Amino acid sequence: MDKVRVLFLAGVDADNTNAQSLNVREIVLRLDPERFHSTVLYEREPDSRLKNRPGIRLLQLPARNKTSRILREMLAAYDIVAYMDYSPASYVFLHLPRILRRAKAVMHREGSGKLTNPSRLLRLLADGVVPRCDVYTAITEFVAQEFQRSAQKRASHILPVGVETSLFTPPAERTNRVPVVLFAGTVIEPKGPQHVVDAAARFPDATFRIVGAGRGGFEEVLRAKIAQLGLKTITLDGPKTQLQLLEIMRQSDIFLLPSRTEGIPKVSLEAGATGLPCIVFRDYETPSVVDGVTGFQVGTIEEMMQVLGKLIADRTLRQRMGAAAREHVKKFDWDLVSRKWQSAYLEIAGAR
């Protein structure tokens, strides 16, 4: 049997903390090299785990003319081009005559897909890419249903993301005298870090940390708000590596994610694996948090504040929910989840 050849469009640079980049690395590391040959892209330095691995080809992109190089690769002898994105290369590829492109274009929907204040170019690319892909997958049943309503496209497979539970583990004991509330994610308005600042103002008996790279200058907006409120119990820590984030999670007591447009937030799996109770919004019905058991799924900012206050005040509740979270996310271990991806890719490649 010929190997299934897959080109992944998400970059795998070692310093790339984007969720899609992290997911692709875990997937390709677990695809059976006897059945798959994966090509992954990088610009500077790839994740060292991918080097000299059977079934994995690392392709460095040039500093200039990236679009033409990616497009040329997409037109090579692949069965699947995975993680289709809103790039010029994807747009051109999908508008070529079908006879010129052998590979099946697969779009993985990991959230609502709603664009926040998109430029005219980004809107053009999205409108030209989404309807023309050959196969669609969704991270959860909820995302699949939302996608079918908004784009009239059906997801053929539900492919969740995972967490490496052997790496993300709880500390031996949490001993903070003052509870530490953690937010981790891109520091932009849709992710809700501004509500973390409001929580810090409301709960002076806790410490708050915002971890993640800023975009569009929103971190400066937060700094100005923190200064205006005179808050001394909150820090903006900037972007961190996976290992650094792991240590920060072990040093924290509660994970807070006020975002309203997710699928399965990768950070909620990582937080749960380290024994943190999580507060998320029920807007996207994530299976990573069991409401009232491993944390809380809330509907409003005020409800978020109320359950956060409960967790800050009750160490026993934090411990009980954190232990339940650790057990719950074991079903999302990458070694289990990746089997679904492998089966889906075999099915997609075979349905020619």
* Cβ atoms 271, 169 nearer than 8 A: no
Residue 105 in any domain: the answer is yes
- 321 and 196 in a common domain: yes
Mean pLDDT by 10 residues, the chain (352 residues): 92 92 96 97 96 97 95 96 97 94 94 78 94 96 94 96 97 96 96 98 98 93 96 96 96 97 94 98 96 98 98 98 98 97 96 57
- 197 and 135 in a common domain: no
* Cβ atoms 108, 159 nearer than 8 A: yes
Residue 139 in any domain: the answer is yes
State phi, psi for 320 to the nearest 5 degrees: -65, -45
* Cβ atoms 11, 42 nearer than 8 A: yes
Residue 210 in any domain: the answer is yes
Check residue 228 and give its pLDDT. Answer: 96
**What's the Cα-to-Cα distance from 198 to each of 23, 156, 225, 262, rounded to whole Å?**
31, 41, 9, 21
State phi, psi for 7 to the nearest 5 degrees: -105, 120
Check residue 227 and give its pLDDT. Answer: 97
Check residue 292 and give its pLDDT. Answer: 97
- 319 and 186 in a common domain: yes
Check residue 2 and give its pLDDT. Answer: 87
Check residue 68 and give its pLDDT. Answer: 96
Q: Which residues span the domain enclosing 252?
A: 180-331
- 130 and 33 in a common domain: yes
- 319 and 190 in a common domain: yes
Q: Tell me which residue has tokens 């411990």.
A: 319
Check residue 115 and give its pLDDT. Answer: 73
Residue 325 in any domain: the answer is yes
Number of domains in the chain: 2
Up-side HSE of residue 348: CA atoms within 13 Å toward CB? 32
Alpha-carbon span 6 to 1, nearest angstrom: 15
- 229 and 150 in a common domain: no
Q: Residue 283 in 3-state DSSP?
A: helix
Angle of the 19-30 helix axis to the 334-350 helix axis, nearest 10: 80
- 259 and 135 in a common domain: no
Check residue 39 and give its pLDDT. Answer: 98
